[in-house]
Chains A and B, each alone.
Chain A
């Protein structure tokens, strides 16, 4: 979006903070319904972030599909299977949890190192000359075949899901 720079930065920082807290909430909250609602908050914030990045169609698709369909499915699943999970006390911090947190922290630190060591502005300068007219999903000839396959995949996957989940 063409906002003034300071408003753009302020919105980005606030969305980033909500995303950080929401991601922690999905993983660390003990009640699975709280975790599912925190996932919904994360998905809505990601959609607002897409609007800030000039990707309005993907923002609308994210709101419709992720928040409207996938998050609702997850909430239904959480509400159906919630009986005996409440009695688990969460003080079972096993050795595996510690090892996984060490590995995930090392993955994160290595990714930060790679990101800060790459010269992004040289890449921007070399791709500046390759810009042609703006196109969309149906006019770009590279994406006809994945588009048809996506429709078949969705059809087959949803028929399969209904067949598995029936009584």
Chain B
């Protein structure tokens, strides 16, 4: 029971890593980053459900992870939109603006 849920979150984690590394679109990379953070949250909630049923520390920490993921998604999409406004393209291998 516990192992099945952990295997599910490990699967989401590895799918997220694969999508993050191989995506050519910047918004798809941000979507796979959200998948990674959600896999970690599933782990926290499952451990909090099985081991810490009274104090719920894992639940509280996953609230923090959700809030940090929201802030990071907002900033990432603002950066992507300003890159798109300047370059008219969102391919990742053209983001070498610091390379001059």
Please report A residues at the B interface, Cβ cutoff 8 Å: 12, 16, 19-20, 23-24, 26-27, 32, 35-36, 39, 42-43, 46, 49-50, 53-55, 57-58, 61-62, 65-66, 69-70, 73-74, 76-78, 80-81, 83-85, 88, 96-97, 100-101, 104-105, 107-108, 111-112, 115-116, 120, 123-124, 127, 131-137, 140, 142-143, 146, 150, 153-154, 157-158, 160-162, 164-165
Number of residues on chain B facing chain A (CB within 8 A): 69
Q: How far is the CA of A96 from the CA of B60 in the complex (A)?
A: 38
Given contacts A53-B46, A132-B55, A164-B82, 11 further A-B contacts (CB under 8 A): A42-B12, A42-B35, A46-B42, A53-B49, A65-B70, A66-B69, A96-B21, A111-B13, A115-B6, A137-B60, A157-B72
Chain B residues contacting A124 (CB-CB under 8 Å) are 50-51
Question: Is the CB–CB distance between A140 and B74 below 8 Å?
Answer: no
In the assembled complex, the CB of B31 is this many whole angstroms from the nearest CB of chain A, namely 5
Q: How far is the CA of A76 from the CA of B4 in the complex (A)?
A: 35
Q: How far is the CA of A153 from the CA of B16 in the complex (A)?
A: 25
Question: A46-B42, A115-B6 in contact; A157/B75 too (CB < 8 A)?
Answer: yes
Question: Is the CB–CB distance between A136 and B51 below 8 Å?
Answer: no
Question: Is the CB–CB distance between A150 and B64 below 8 Å?
Answer: yes
Instruction: Kindly list the 6 A-B residue pairs having the minimum CB-CB distance in the complex, ordered from nearest.
Output: A157-B71, A27-B19, A165-B78, A161-B78, A111-B10, A131-B54
Q: How far is the CA of A71 from the CA of B48 in the complex (A)?
A: 26
Question: A135-B56, A146-B64, A164-B82 in contact; A107/B32 too (CB < 8 A)?
Answer: no
B21-35 to A contact mask, C-beta < 8 Å, 1/0: 111110110111011
Mind listing 11 A-B residue pairs with CB under 8 Å? Answer: A19-B12, A23-B11, A27-B15, A32-B25, A39-B34, A74-B30, A77-B30, A81-B80, A112-B7, A146-B64, A150-B64
Question: A27-B15, A108-B11, A165-B81 in contact; A134/B56 too (CB < 8 A)?
Answer: yes
Question: A39-B31, A107-B17, A153-B68 in contact; A46/B49 too (CB < 8 A)?
Answer: no
State the majority secondary structure of interface residues on B.
Answer: helix
Q: How far is the CA of A146 from the CA of B46 in the complex (A)?
A: 22
Chain B residues contacting A150 (CB-CB under 8 Å) are 64, 67-68
In the assembled complex, the CB of B62 is this many whole angstroms from the nearest CB of chain A, namely 6
Question: Is the CB–CB distance between B6 and A24 below 8 Å?
Answer: no
Question: Is the CB–CB distance between B63 and A23 below 8 Å?
Answer: no
Chain A residues contacting B54 (CB-CB under 8 Å) are 131-135
Residue of B nearest to A15 (CB): B8
